[in-house]
Amino acid sequence: MFRLLVAVTLIACSLAAVVPDATETEEFKQWSGRIVGGNTATPGQFPYQASMRSAANSHFCGASIINHRWVVCAAHCTVNRLLANTFVVVGAHHRVTGGTTHATERIVNHPNYSSITLANDVSLVRSATDFVESSTVRFIQLEPNFISTAFPATASGWGQTSNPGSAAEHLQYLIVEAITNEECRSRLSLTNAARIGETTLCVSSPNGQGLCMGDSGGPLTVNGRLVGAVSWGVPCGTAAPDMFARISAVHAWLVSIIDV
């Protein structure tokens, strides 16, 4: 079976499952996670990748650049955040240096986002200044069509690479495979299976590879289009599926907000 390159980290079912790096800030620890069994990206390999940062330059989630002002993120990353403490860094390869930092002027969480089920776990963040395309900054198109199974997908992020361990210094990616929601439910507990709905896209990867609490909001792409935003998963790298917000399910809402 052909598998996909993905670099993502998800918010897991239990934050206690992650052993945080004592050198990181409290804000990073809250959302921090890891890419298990991932690979280091080359500079500019994922030019649509953005880093969501605090005013203290602490990376707390990933995001995807979709046009000159907007990025797609996860609602669980941005709900209750203040604009003054939310910045978008684009064109970066290193987690805390490089790239261009933009202040934000608007955060829009999906109106039907559920913090219980993580349905509609998607948000939009508008930069106060334009993103300028270059060799390391590119916009990515939204995928309006339903992706079901066996599609190669690519994601990227700065999560930890081992547990316990430190957050990745450089952008990482990993190989996964999209699976049907039916298969996804069959591989989860009854409680977690009940959280898999039409706004969820599941992926699978081999034991020892996978996503975990961090770089939530980061991209999952197929054929150069954005199909998912990192949402949640079962800790971690244990061959359990990882879950994304399905872009096609919220496509109409996204388009209604952004100024294309």
User: Among all residues, which ones are annotated catalytic?
Assistant: 76, 121, 216
Q: Please, how many CA atoms are within 13 Å of residue 246, restricted to the half-sphere of its CB?
A: 21
Do 60 and 23 meet the contact criterion of CB atoms below 8 Å apart? no
Largest CA distance in the chain: 46
* Helix, strand, coil shares, percent, the chain, to 5: 15, 35, 50
- CA-to-CA distance for 153 and 178, rounded, in angstroms? 7
Dihedrals φ, ψ of 255, to 5°?
Answer: -65, -30
Do 127 and 69 meet the contact criterion of CB atoms below 8 Å apart? yes
Strands 141-142 and 225-233: parallel
Do 241 and 212 meet the contact criterion of CB atoms below 8 Å apart? no
- The alpha-carbon radius of gyration of the chain (Å, integer) is 16
- CA-to-CA distance for 113 and 142, rounded, in angstroms? 19
